[in-house]
């Protein structure tokens, strides 16, 4: 699913490149959303790398090897934020709306 998310982000970036001028508010919202998604993907990769390779192997106690806490302030509700951005700018940037909607759907399916 992460690969699908990355492909969707690349698609959105490509559409942004040809969309023409984008106002500062949209640019700011999209940059923050992109940063939050990249941060989430990096944390997910880090957690996957820290998981035991063999089933049934005891894990290291949390006091010794703490699991990184989820930063709800930046990643909570990414799907909803994506949908809000999509709706807000659909009239001004109709070529971006389908890519944003797809990105929101992917995030929602991931439970993000």
Choose among 40, 27, 36: nearest CA to 85: 27
Q: Where are the domains of the chain?
A: 1-10+78-112
Instruction: Quote the Cα angle for 106-7-81, to 5°.
Output: 40
pLDDT value at residue 12: 84
- Per-residue confidence of the chain (112 residues) as pLDDT tens digits? 678 888 888 888 888 888 778 788 888 888 898 888 888 888 888 876 665 554 444 443 444 434 444 444 456 688 888 888 888 888 888 888 888 888 888 888 888 7
pTM of the model: 0.65
């Amino acid at each position: 699913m992460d690969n699908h998310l990355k492909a969707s982000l690349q698609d959105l970036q490509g559409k942004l490149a040809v969309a023409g001028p984008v106002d500062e508010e949209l640019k700011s919202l999209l940059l923050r959303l992109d940063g939050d998604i990249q941060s989430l993907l990096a944390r997910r990769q880090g957690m996957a790398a820290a998981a035991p390779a063999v089933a049934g192997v005891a894990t290291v106690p949390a006091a010794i090897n703490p699991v990184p806490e989820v930063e709800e302030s930046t990643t909570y509700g990414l799907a909803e934020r994506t949908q809000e951005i999509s709706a807000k700018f659909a009239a001004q940037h109709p070529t971006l709306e389908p890519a944003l909607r797809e990105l929101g759907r992917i995030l929602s399916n991931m439970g993000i």
